Amino acid sequence: MKKSKSSFTWRRITESKLFFPFLALAFILLFDLVFIPNFFAVQTREGNLYGSVIDIMRNASTVMLLAIGMTLVIATGGVDLSVGAIMAIAASVAAVMMNPVIIGVELPPDLMKFINDPSFTYSPLWEVILVTLIVAIICGLWNGVLVAYVRIQPMVATLILMIAGRGIAQLITNGVRIQIFYGPYAFLGQGWIVLPFSLYIVAIVFAIAWILTRKTAIGLFLESVGINFRSSFYSGIDEKKIKLLAYAFCGLCAGIAGLVASSNIKTSDANNIGLTLELDAILAVVIGGTLLGAGGRFSLLASIIGAMVIQAITTSMYALGVPAFALQAIKGVVVIFVILLYSEQVRGFVRRISAPREV
């Protein structure tokens, strides 16, 4: 029977972790197709692509970066609330390294005059990026040590850095919002090579995370520790190291997101960079089907789609003319919708309608 064969594959699709995130994204895009004219129009300028869809992806890139790291942390049964604050720290470190004058460092007079020059930076770009990312990893390690070795609940442990982080960021810049003039740095968040440059960064981070979790045993160990850390311990898995790695990687992702975000707005705005983005990142992972609190099975791609879903909602609402202050309320409605969609009842319903008909 032809029907039964097709419904078998249909069933495999609905059981996949990617099914619901894609369904949610499709819903939103369908909505846009109907209600927003020219939503899918893409223009070409100087060989680069522009349009609402591209915008969605570009604006989602910071949340995508955060979601990649957050997925690993949530897979271990934890959560990281500090990623927004780590973004702010990263932005401050990068800004100070490029433009230390503002915090009272005396430059030699011959350099002083270049300070507003887009081609001037105090430290070379590679050094800026390297040091920033090392600082971000240290932030992640701090979280990891608190969770894995000191055994503080993840939510409380990462809350410490969430609260303290923005203060630390302010301390680094001496309370000043540093403007960033350096051109190549701005390329991270604003550059285009056919597609926005930040998307290539996401692609590279995603590839690294994917290889790390799917081509080594780390992915299996992350899932195993999340599902049952005692069994994992008895099986010889060093659950502490695995957790430490997840938080450190999450910190690294937040650092990269901080670079992209600060390059996008050309300042180190310690108060606003990454503000509440930790919640968007968590939501992205939850939409991606990784269980918050329980951990276990995860899909990086599903989390990426989850981040796109969130951004698609935001962009669509702006395109419709919904004011920014009402946006949070709409997001709330969407969260309810997502949670309903993921409920056992709806899953059971989908399973029933996609189940083979013959018995």
Partner 1 sequence: MPEFYNYIIEMEGIHKSFPGVQALENVDFNLKKGEIHALVGENGAGKSTLIKALTGVEKQDEGTINLEGKEINVKSPQHAQRMGISTVYQEINLCPNLTVAENILIGWEPRKWGRVDWKTMNARAKEILQGLDVDIDVTQTLGSYSVAIQQMAAIARALEISNARILILDEPTSSLDAHETQQLFGVMRKLKSEGMAIVFITHFIDQVYEVADRITVVRNGKLVGSYDTATLPRLELIAKMIGRSLTEYDDMTKIKLESSKHIKGEALLESKGLSNEGGIEPFDLELHSGEVVGFAGLLGSGRTEIAGLLFGIEKPDSGTLTVAGKEVKNFSPLASITRGIGLCPEDRKAAGVVDDLTVRENIILAMQANRGWFKYLSTQQQYEIANKFIELLNISTPSADQPVKNLSGGNQQKVILARWLATNPQVLILDEPTRGIDVGAKAEIQKLVLSLAEEGKACVFISSELEEVIRCSHRIAVLSNRKKVAEYSGEVDEKVIMQSMAGSGS
Q: Determine contact, residues 284/20, Cβ cutoff 8 Å.
A: no
Helices (H), the chain: 2-15, 19-35, 52-75, 83-98, 109-112, 125-144, 154-172, 183-190, 197-214, 218-227, 229-234, 239-265, 277-287, 300-320, 324-341, 344-354
d(CA 135, CA 141): 10
Question: 77-116 mask for partner 1 (x: CB under 8 A)?
Answer: ----------------------------------------
What is the nearest approach in angstroms of partner 1 to the Cβ of residue 346?
20
Q: Which is nearer to partner 1, 233 or 318 (CB)?
A: 233
d(CA 278, CA 78): 13
What is the nearest approach in angstroms of partner 1 to the Cβ of residue 209?
14
Residue 196 β-bridge partners: 192
d(CA 213, CA 210): 5
What is the nearest approach in angstroms of partner 1 to the Cβ of residue 217?
5
* Binding span for partner 1 by CB under 8 A among 30-38, 217-225, 253-261, 301-309: 217-225
Q: Determine contact, residues 163/81, Cβ cutoff 8 Å.
A: no
Q: Which is nearer to partner 1, 235 or 343 (CB)?
A: 235
**Which of 2, 215, 352, 357 is the binder for partner 1 (CB under 8 A)?**
215
**Which of 216, 271, 276, 343 is the binder for partner 1 (CB under 8 A)?**
216
Q: Should residue 16 be labelled a site residue for partner 1 when binding is judged by CB under 8 A?
A: no
DSSP type of residue 267: E
3-state secondary structure of 50: strand
**Which of 297, 322, 347, 356 is the binder for partner 1 (CB under 8 A)?**
297
What is the nearest approach in angstroms of partner 1 to the Cβ of residue 180?
37
Window 220 to 259, contacts with partner 1 (CB under 8 A): 220-221, 223-224, 227-228, 230-238
Q: Which is nearer to partner 1, 77 or 154 (CB)?
A: 77
Q: Residue 74: left (phi > 0), alpha (psi -120 to 50), or beta? A: alpha
What is the nearest approach in angstroms of partner 1 to the Cβ of residue 220?
6
Residue 193 β-bridge partners: 195
* Binding span for partner 1 by CB under 8 A among 202-210, 211-219, 329-337, 346-354: 211-219
Give kind and range of the element (H or E) at residue 193.
strand 192-193
Residues that bind partner 1 (CB under 8 A): 215-218, 220-221, 223-224, 227-228, 230-238, 296-297
